[in-house]
Structure 1
Amino acid sequence: MTATHSTRMLILGSGPAGLSAAIYGARAGLAPIVVQGVQPGGQLTTTTDVENYPGFREVIQGPWLMEEMQAQAEHVGAQMMYDMIVDVDLTQRPFRLTGDSGTIYVCDTLVIATGAQAKWLGLDSEEAMKGKGASACATCDGFFYRGKKVAVIGGGNTAVEEALYLTNHSHDVTLIHRRDTLRAEKILQERLFANPKITVLWNKEVVEFVGGGDPEGLVALKLKDSVTGDLSQIDVEGGFVAIGHHPATELFRGHLELDEDSYITVETGTTRTSVPGVFACGDVMDKVYRQAITAAGTGCMAALDAERFLAEADFEAVAQAAE
């Protein structure tokens, strides 16, 4: 028989946004269910050192932080489900969602915290160097490269912003772009070209992340000229891939309003989506900040927005019943 779970608040995703929503929802007495998705714990489970999450004097580990968040959410009453949603019906409340397991989830409010994944180059050597010099977030990891030579790969706004940010830590930043012009906004390009700490390598593609040393870490990037095919190498200790992100919103296409980059559109200053009773938080709706702390903040907002939505709906239902 197909199992069915009903809840006042269903949360999709178990990163900082989803678990923060679960904590606030549980404390409000909504007994939330968290469907953890394909990557329980979110992107922080693939991050080693975390030094910018408030409340911890020493460096902490990403997986440990997510374990603690989940334990806190469960302690106050949230229920974790190891499942992945494959179908949604948001045409009427209560909403009805179907898990990969065949389980049916029925909910009065839905909080979407499915996140976004950084785009990588797809190189085997890149995968081997993740956490050892290869990164997709300068704001997260740039601090660890103080005084070191680093490179940023990409040519859009994200790449230029990451390169500019890294000059706070490094005196030698190289932007590597496979074309001869940048896609970034003109004002960003002007700041980039005016910064003496940044060098741009045009028409270059990264073909290998070169490791070395003991313990092993990134020591160089092997490059291929996109025009001539010539190979070269640049010595760096940090390589930041900045070619964009994929928000996990495919499931909601045609059900919710998405922007031109497929992020869920929310009402300014809130987490409310185009469907009343559905809320979005974290990287699935935030393409600007993309930090654990901002994701947690919007998770709190989503739970509070959902709680208020339910309170108003309950009040209206009581008033109608009294008429």
Structure 2
Amino acid sequence: MNKEEKNIDLVIIGSGPAGLTAAIYAARMKLDFIVLEDELIGGQIRSTYSVENYPGFKTIGGQELADRFYDQAVNAGANIDEFDNILKVSLKDDEKIIETDNFIYKPKTVIIATGSKYRPLPIPEEEKYHGNGIHHCELCDGELYENKDIIVVGGGNSAIEGAIFLSRYAKSITIVHQFDHLQAEKSLQQDALNNPKINILWDTEIRHAYGENELEEVSVENLKTKQIDNIKVDGIFVYIGMVPKTDLFKDYIDINPFGYIKAGESTETNVEGVFVAGDVREKVFRQLTTATADGTVAALMAEKYIVEKRRRNNG
């Protein structure tokens, strides 16, 4: 079956804060565009329990903030398709092609705002228990572990926030951390250390997970003593960093050794008319506010590129 081709101004890939901000600006500039998303609209912010560092809100739930981004983009006129998976892309100076399950898009410009995904737990059994014992989202799956024993892996803000949130459900929480100190903000550390349900295993990593149909036990290794111990557990929540989602673009876009797309504050990539916004961009700080700033800049740059190219072609 031949797919319908669509020649449009802009394709935004990703609907996190960066992508949705770009969509708001693109809609206000009356661009002909679409937002493509193959996962949750709102990105990682949707799984954040509480946001307290976004201007205008003393505190707001991540889901509510994601919904507000989405509603504002749609009300502005954005077309968001969350069911048409991208199969492949071709991104060149003179032509951009994005093929999905249903269409072939030929946009003048592209904004890559794919964000990142959770880094998997590096054990052989991760795939077996993924979603059935091993999780990454306390908001999504915490209720499954009412009065259960949980392990939280990691020591940064996400891990400690997750452990504190999960303590409302769990009977006990063991934080397994590979270092002898936490990286989370001091206030979060103090909240965790004062929580009677939370215990910390320092200098420790999980090596294996066991159980027939569901997770029952893990083996952990102390990195200093090399001692191996087994721990009974019902669920594991993993917070050990993120991996940028750039596989689709690696044949065309310059990517650094860590997988992030190379682009400065202008959000311009090495390919003319292709811009990048949000956590997937190479930069020093990755925050909600920097993601929305990127989305703003990328949309403005895309519109500027379209106008300038039209002038050149007509001139």
Same fold (TM over 0.5): yes
Q: What corresponds to 1:241 in structure 2?
A: 239
Cα deviation, residue 230, structure 1: 2.8
What do the CA deviations read for 1:120-156 (whole angstroms, capped 9, x no partner)? Answer: 324654428734584879446757859x99957356x
2:16, 2:41 within 8 Å by CA — same for their partners in 1? yes
- Give the match's secondary structure for 2:110: strand
Q: Which of residues 254, 264, 270 is equivalent to 2:266?
A: 270
Following the alignment from structure 2 to structure 1, what is the Cα–Cα distance between the partners of residues 291 and 108? Answer: 23
Q: Which of residues 303, 315, 319 is equivalent to 2:299?
A: 303
AA aligned opposite 1:252: F
Q: CA 1:48–1:94 in 2, change beyond 3 Å: closer, same or farther? A: same
Q: What corresponds to 1:184 in structure 2?
A: none
Q: What corresponds to 2:177 in structure 1?
A: 153
Please provide the CA RMSD for this pair: 3.8
Q: CA 1:297–1:138 in 2, change beyond 3 Å: closer, same or farther? A: farther
1:31, 1:79 within 8 Å by CA — same for their partners in 2? no
TM-score after normalising by structure 2: 0.72
Q: Which stretch shifts more, 107-116 or 288-297?
A: 288-297
Cα deviation, residue 248, structure 1: 0.8
1:87, 1:98 within 8 Å by CA — same for their partners in 2? yes
Following the alignment from structure 2 to structure 1, what is the Cα–Cα distance between the partners of residues 297 and 268? Answer: 10
Q: What corresponds to 1:166 in structure 2?
A: 185
Following the alignment from structure 2 to structure 1, what is the Cα–Cα distance between the partners of residues 104 and 155? Answer: 36
1:4, 1:104 within 8 Å by CA — same for their partners in 2? yes
2:5, 2:103 within 8 Å by CA — same for their partners in 1? yes
Following the alignment from structure 1 to structure 2, what is the Cα–Cα distance between the partners of residues 202 and 280? Answer: 37
Following the alignment from structure 1 to structure 2, what is the Cα–Cα distance between the partners of residues 85 and 54? Answer: 33
Q: What corresponds to 1:127 in structure 2?
A: 135
- Give the match's secondary structure for 2:188: coil
Q: What corresponds to 2:228 in structure 1?
A: 230
Q: CA 1:128–1:83 in 2, change beyond 3 Å: closer, same or farther? A: closer
Following the alignment from structure 2 to structure 1, what is the Cα–Cα distance between the partners of residues 54 and 153? Answer: 18
AA aligned opposite 1:205: I
The equivalences for 1:18-167 within 5 A come to 18-60=19-61, 62-81=62-81, 82-99=83-100, 101-121=101-121, 122=126, 124-127=132-135, 130-131=138-139, 132=142, 134=152, 138-139=156-157, 151=175, 153-154=177-178, 163-167=182-186
Instruction: Determine whether 1:8 maps to 2:45.
Output: no
Following the alignment from structure 1 to structure 2, what is the Cα–Cα distance between the partners of residues 135 and 204? Answer: 8
2:42, 2:67 within 8 Å by CA — same for their partners in 1? yes
- Give the match's secondary structure for 1:170: helix
Q: Which stretch shifts more, 30-39 or 118-127?
A: 118-127
- Give the match's secondary structure for 1:298: helix
User: Which ranges of structure 1 fall in alignment gaps of 5 or more residues?
Assistant: 175-198, 209-220
What do the CA deviations read for 1:267-323 (whole angstroms, capped 9, x no partner)? Answer: x2220001010001111114643332221111111111112222221222222xxxx
1:12, 1:37 within 8 Å by CA — same for their partners in 2? no
Identity %: 29
Q: What corresponds to 1:188 in structure 2?
A: none
AA aligned opposite 2:221: K
What do the CA deviations read for 1:156-180 (whole angstroms, capped 9, x no partner)? Answer: xxx98xx344334324989xxxxxx
Following the alignment from structure 2 to structure 1, what is the Cα–Cα distance between the partners of residues 37 and 155? Answer: 23
The equivalences for 1:158-197 within 5 A come to 163-171=182-190
Q: CA 1:26–1:280 in 2, change beyond 3 Å: closer, same or farther? A: same
Cα deviation, residue 92, structure 1: 4.4
Q: Which of residues 281, 291, 298 is equivalent to 2:287?
A: 291
TM-score after normalising by structure 1: 0.70
User: Which ranges of structure 2 fall in alignment gaps of 5 or more residues?
Assistant: 143-149, 168-172, 194-199, 210-217
Q: CA 1:306–1:154 in 2, change beyond 3 Å: closer, same or farther? A: farther
Q: CA 1:271–1:136 in 2, change beyond 3 Å: closer, same or farther? A: farther
- Give the match's secondary structure for 1:22: helix
AA aligned opposite 1:13: G
Instruction: Determine whether 1:315 maps to 2:283.
Output: no
1:11, 1:33 within 8 Å by CA — same for their partners in 2? yes
1:8, 1:107 within 8 Å by CA — same for their partners in 2? yes
> Aligned residue pairs: how many?
273
